[in-house]
Amino acid sequence: MSRALRVGIGAAVALAALALPHALTVPYFLHLTILACIWTVLAQGQNLVQGFSGYVSIAAGGFMAIGAYASALLSVKGGWPVWTSMALAPFVAAALALVVGYPSLRVKGHYFAIVTLAYNLVIVTVLNNYESFTGGEAGMPNIQRPAALVLGGLQLSFAGREGYYYLVLLAAAAATAGGALVLHSRVGRVLIAIRQNEMVVDALGVAAWRYKLFAFVASGFLAGLAGALYAHFIGFLNPEPFGTDQSMNAILAVTLGGSGTLLGPIVGAFLVVTLPEYLRVADTYRLVVYGLLLVLATIFMPRGIVPMVSRGFRGMATRLAAALRPRPDPTP
């Protein structure tokens, strides 16, 4: 694709994203779009570990819970301004990721996945049972939206869905930009090398564990941000949405969309949020159909939707270019 075309498409998508709240007449669709943006943040984080370095972590839901509860507790029980608590929450999740990532990144492959799965279970168990602090399963109500901002005489309110949509859109864009920054840096190159052959990376004099730890902590940070955005959007927290199901959703979003690509997690996040909703037509068979679709997608698009579509486009562009090329005149 030419550069001009890319910029054009990017600008069109950005405009469409900005205009979306005015186009969507059903509030429920906007609600889903907000969730999808939050899940994009989560998926971009998951992509750093799973997509780039090839380590599958099953702890995204747990770190999301840490961010959600950190922000909710700081603002509701601590009385801090919501903006401050939301800004701090990702750092709390990242700090925990640092502490648990340091020992667990020594194990590889499936073992790493199982260790992280255990963290997720521990986090949910603690949240369920530390009732005096978290409210246990009964949950924490009355989590406020962030206060309105006044920027140059313009009042930005986040109390409504429209305002909050722009906040999560910004977060999703920032998470994607962060992923792009990492991908095109020296760090990204090492992470991708780790995915292909970690032993050689070590043999080349690169301390692979530092880069893995960076990816893991960064993914914890983004999961924490996603959690904070979720908590203040829904307004009520209990541990239920942060179980391993949620971590699986993050993995699915990355795998379905396109592991290791930048657009993949976005596409994947929208799919895992909206697909189960659209499948409500299938009624009680909803989850069965969902599962079937996932199996089919994995069989027919093992590398994800984005790589497949972009390859399709490239093929079309080549054929188009060949068709448009002036042919040599056959007549002498």
Which span sits near other proteins by CB under 8 A: 24-32, 59-67, 77-85, 194-202?
A: 194-202
Structure tokens that stand for 29 in this block? 């669709």
Name the minimum Å distance from CB 142 to other proteins. 49
Task: Give the HSE-up count for residue 183: Cα atoms under 13 Å, Cβ half-sphere.
Answer: 18
Neighbours of 24 (CB within 10 A): 17
Q: Which of residues 83-102 bind other proteins (CB under 8 A)?
A: none
- Residue choice 125, 157, 197, 318 for contact with other proteins (CB under 8 A): 197
Q: Is residue 206 near other proteins by the rule CB under 8 A?
A: yes
Scanning 36-44, 131-139, 203-211, 298-306 for contacts with other proteins by CB under 8 A, the matching segment is 203-211
Pick the stretch among 121-129, 133-141, 183-191, 312-320 that binds other proteins (CB under 8 A). Answer: 183-191
Please state the closest distance from residue 174 (CB atom) to other proteins, in A. 27
State in angstroms the smallest separation of the CB of 193 from other proteins.
Answer: 5
Residue 299 is a binding residue for other proteins (CB under 8 A): no
The conformational region for residue 298 under phi > 0 = left, psi -120 to 50 = alpha, else beta, is: alpha
Q: Does 205 bind other proteins (CB under 8 A)?
A: yes
Task: For the chain, list the strands marked E by DSSP.
Answer: 149-151, 154-156
Q: Answer yes or no: are the C-beta atoms of 85 and 244 closer than 8 Å.
A: no
Residue 204 lies near other proteins (rule: CB under 8 A): yes
> Contact 151/157 with Cβ under 8 angstroms?
no
Distance CA(211)–CA(191), nearest Å, equals 7
Q: With 0-12 CB in 10 A as exposed, 13-18 as middle and 19+ as buried, what is 223?
A: buried
Under rule CB under 8 A, residue 193 binds other proteins: yes
Does residue number 196 form part of the binding site for other proteins (CB under 8 A)? yes
| Distances in whole angstroms, Cα of residue 173 to Cα of each of 42, 49, 66, 134, 193 | 12, 19, 22, 31, 26
- Compare residues 6 and 186 and give the one whose CB is closer to other proteins: 186
- Whichever of 157 and 197 has its CB closer to other proteins, that residue is 197
Binding site for other proteins (CB under 8 A): 186, 189-190, 192-193, 196-197, 199-208
